[in-house]
Each structure stands twice: as structure tokens, then as C-alpha cells.
Chains A and B, each alone.
Chain A
Amino acid sequence: AQKVTQAQTEISVVEKEDVTLDCVYETRDTTYYLFWYKQPPSGELVFLIRRNSFDEQNEISGRYSWNFQKSTSSFNFTITASQVVDSAVYFCALSEASDRGSTLGRLYFGRGTQLTVWP
């Protein structure tokens, strides 16, 4: 079963527009961790955020903000006032706690959303 769904394959916006990247996840664990990564054309993965399942507070970091809704199993990512440098593939990922509950397991990645910001 697919654990992380990023329904938006590609999004194009013009600079300074706000854009929201959707992420829906599926898990039976009560303890889990959600992540967003950015992959620029050079290929490396850039860590953006980690969210624990027991912490539903939304987070803002500069132009980035994240909306975690356990009720809808969603962890959406918004970029305000987008810039050309934001162009990249963005991955949402899920990690489930091990049976012992203290060790993070493997990462399940969504298919990614290609964001293109035009000048």
C-alpha cells in the first residue's frame, strides 16, 4: 500500500506567488515522523523539516510553512512569495517507529512534486 501520496506531479508558478504542495500519508503506527526534502537539479537531498506525530503544531520558517492535520493525514507545505531558486523537486516522506518505539525505521518517499518558479 502506498504510504505517502503527492498527487501533484508538477506545479508551475510565477515568482512571488504563493504555492502549496500537498502530501497525504497512510500509516497504522501511532508514532511516526513526517519529513519534507528538497531536491534541486544537482540531485542532493536537502532536509527541510521533520514533524513528530504527537506534535500537531504548525510551523513557519521564513517563507516556508507546514500544515500538519492528523484528522486528514495530511502534511502540506506552503512557500510564500516564491522565488526562482525554489524550483526543485520536493519530496514528502514518512518514517514509522520500530516495534520498540524508540528507533526510526526506513523512510517512505512520495513520488515528489516538481515545482517550477518562473521569473
Chain B
Amino acid sequence: GAVVSQHPSWVICKSGTSVKIECRSLDFQATTMFWYRQFPKQSLMLMATSNEGSKATYEQGVEKDKFLINHASLTLSTLTVTSAHPEDSSFYICSARDRRGPYSNQPQHFGDGTRLSIL
């Protein structure tokens, strides 16, 4: 079945560091990818929608200069947390939308997530 690879799965770094998270669709083309953030014991909140070859669409309240998204190809989107601080510590999950859309049982395929801890 379709697989989305998210890397790294775990990151611990110092405050002020920039961290890049990759999301790859391994066996299908994903014109659209989504980035979610999940705080402990909370729901998944959509941060932004990433479309291949164009600028990402950010949800209200999400700083686009803080969370840089690049979707340079049909199989790769990256999220860079710039100058990360402890409050950015969270679980980040990407998903890739299957181009088959409604004809696919799983219209979005999720990566396994990245646990980001900023010291």
C-alpha cells in the first residue's frame, strides 16, 4: 500500500537551532501535502497545506516565517522550524494526499510523525 516516509522520527536540539523535517510519498505522487501539529493529549491541528510548485497555505495563527514549508517535487515536502524555542516542542505529522482523491479509500496517507524537543 501507499507509504509516506517522515524523517527524522525524533529530534532533540538546542534553542535557536533550525530543524528540517522531510515528508516523502514513496509510491505515489502527492500534489498536496498537509502538516499537522499535535501537543500532548491534544488533537491534530492543521498547520498548513503544501501544494507542489506553489506557496503553502497557512492556517490562521501559524507563523509562516517560523514554519517554512517547501514542496519542490511531487514526492517531497519539507517543514523547517526556524530558530526553534522550547514552545515549539511538539509532535509534527505530515500527510500526503493521494491524487486518486475520492476513489482512494485512504485519501490521505500519514507519516509516522516527528517528535521535536527543544532544550
Contacts and interface: CB of A to CB of B under 8 A. Distances in A.
B61 interface: no
Q: Chain A interface mostly helix, strand, loop or mixed?
A: strand
Nearest to B6: A44
A62 interface: no
Size bracket, chain B contacts:
20 to 34
Identify the interface centre among B43, B101, B106: most chain A CB within 10 Å of its CB: B43
Given A44-B112, A50-B106, A104 B97 contact: yes
Interface string B95-119: 1010001100111101111010000
A111 B42 contact: yes
Contacts of A95: 107
17 contacts: A33-B107, A42-B112, A43-B113, A43-B115, A44-B110, A44-B112, A47-B106, A47-B110, A50-B105, A50-B107, A91-B43, A102-B101, A104-B97, A107-B44, A107-B108, A109-B44, A111-B42
Interface of B: 34, 41-46, 49, 91, 93, 95, 97, 101-102, 105-108, 110-113, 115
